[in-house]
Structure formats: C-alpha cells, structure tokens
Amino acid sequence: MGSPVMPTSESVAAGTSLAGRTAIVTGGGSGIGQAIAILFARNGARVAILDLAADETIRRIAANGGTAKHLACDVTSQSAVEAAFADVASSYAPVDVLVNCAGIAHIGTVETTPEEDFDRVYSVNVKGVYNCLRAAVRQMKGRGGAILNIASIASSVGIPDRFAYSMSKGAVLTMTLSVACDYVNHGIRCNAVSPGRVHTPFVDGFLAKNYPGREQEMFEKLSRTQPIGRMGQPAEIAELALFLCSDAAAFITGSNYAIDGGFVSLKV
C-alpha cells in the first residue's frame, strides 16, 4: 500500500498548473479532446494526442509555444495503445495525466441498433477506455497520477434513441469508480465528467446530414433542451478537465461531474 498523495503549499498555490507533467489525451484531434489538449499544453503539460488525425491541434499548440506530439493510434487495439504509451514514456516521461476522450456516437433503440454497430460502439467507447486505463495505471503505479474519463449525461439518465451510446457511457462511469477504488492507495485519482450537449463538429455534421436546410432551426431546438438555454462549448469542458487533473483537485477521486447546463438536476 502506497502513501497517500498530499498536496504541498506550493502545489496548491500553483493551482491548475501542469508544468513538467506528461499528459495523454485520446480523441484530441477535434471537439472536446482538442480543447483539453490545447488548454493542458497552455498550462505547461507535455501533451501526447492519441487519435487518427490531429494536425490542427498540434498546429495550435505549437503556435502558442506549447509542447505536443501526435500518435496515430487505434485505441481499440491493446497492442497499439501499449506501443503508444511506451513511445510517450520514451519521448517525454511516463504518463502523469490521462484523459480518455476518444469516442463515437450512435443513434438508435435496442431494436434499431444492428449488432455490428453495437460492437463498434463497444469497441471504441468501452474497450478503448479499458486499453488506455490499463496502460496508464501500469505507468502510474508507484508514482501517482490523475485520470479523467469523459462520460455523458447518458450514463445517468435515459436519452431517447441512444441505446448503444448510453450503454458505453454507463460502462465508462463504472470503470471510473472501479479504478478509483482499486488504485486510491497507489496515489492514482480517477474521475469522470458527464457533459450534456456540447457544440462540436459532430453536432454540425449530424444536423447537416439529418436536417438539410433546417440546421439552424434544429440547432436552436437542441440548445433549448438544456435548462440554461444553450449548448456547452468544448473550452468549458476543458476548464473542468484541467481542474480535475491538477493538484487543485488533489482531494477528489471517484467522482462524476455533470457539466450539462442543468439538464440532469433542473426540471424547468
């Protein structure tokens, strides 16, 4: 059993600085993952992005003087993930912070979800998170670290036509709790955030595909499903991620934070 990680007065004063730390962000090529990668680099982290493509993210980090590298990695492959984590440890240092953001969406009920779609969602959203958790924990044991999994409000409440997606995000949430429990005595913290609707390129693509000519109308309709009256912005999710992965959150583990404009808790 390891000793508990205690923040020092210097680390608390440093707030959300990630200076000198190695952070791996999966799905950092766009959307929420991109915003997290950019903010982490701005706050001093050496950022490794695991995604199929991340040129724009790397460009924006470099333009701000940050340190980042891209590894084209299929998170559904355990061997590919292990190789990527080994590469990061060799290039920078063993991982201090992991953000599991890679994921795919799916629309359908249990009746309308084909088996191949279910398997694909499971492979990326569940197995991909498992693969990265496994690799990260092995590097963090004996040193400590912070893990953040991107879940969803769909892991806590029923969302129409999101059967496979909800299944996967429910698994992400319970994996978070399990890792937090198993490794708290190793100095490893593991938390989750559960966003509501966030305005990402996926949303724009979904509206263009399913509501051609009515994109603005449907965007406003979806925005109003959050009691606060709008969708979230990726940068807002990134700010919460930065806090939870920094020493400012050293007393937080095994927790799930809804960041959803009041969707889950407010009935208005």
Average pLDDT value over all residues in the chain:
93
Q: What is the mean pLDDT of residues 262-267?
A: 87
What DSSP character marks residue 247?
Answer: G
What span, in angstroms and rounded, lies between the C-alpha atoms of 69 and 50? 9
pLDDT digits (tens, 9 = 90+) for 179-237: 999 999 999 999 999 999 999 988 898 889 889 999 999 999 999 989 999 999 999 99
- Pick the closest to residue 47 from 99, 86, 9 (CA basis): 99
Give pLDDT, residue 1. 44
What DSSP character marks residue 198?
Answer: B
pLDDT digits (tens, 9 = 90+) for 71-84: 999 999 999 999 99
Architecture of domain 15-196+232-259: 3-Layer(aba) Sandwich (3.40)
Least confident window among 55-64, 87-96, 200-209: 200-209
Whether residue 11 has pLDDT greater than 90: no
For 93, the token pair is: 């240092």
Give pLDDT, residue 4. 56
Phi and psi angles of residue 261, each rounded to the nearest 5 degrees, phi first: 65, 25
pLDDT band at residue 8 using 50, 70 and 90 as cut-offs: low
Give pLDDT, residue 84. 98
Tell whether pTM > 0.85.
Answer: yes
Q: Which residues are catalytic, by number?
A: 165
Give pLDDT, residue 267. 64
Give pLDDT, residue 205. 87
What DSSP character marks residue 184?
Answer: G
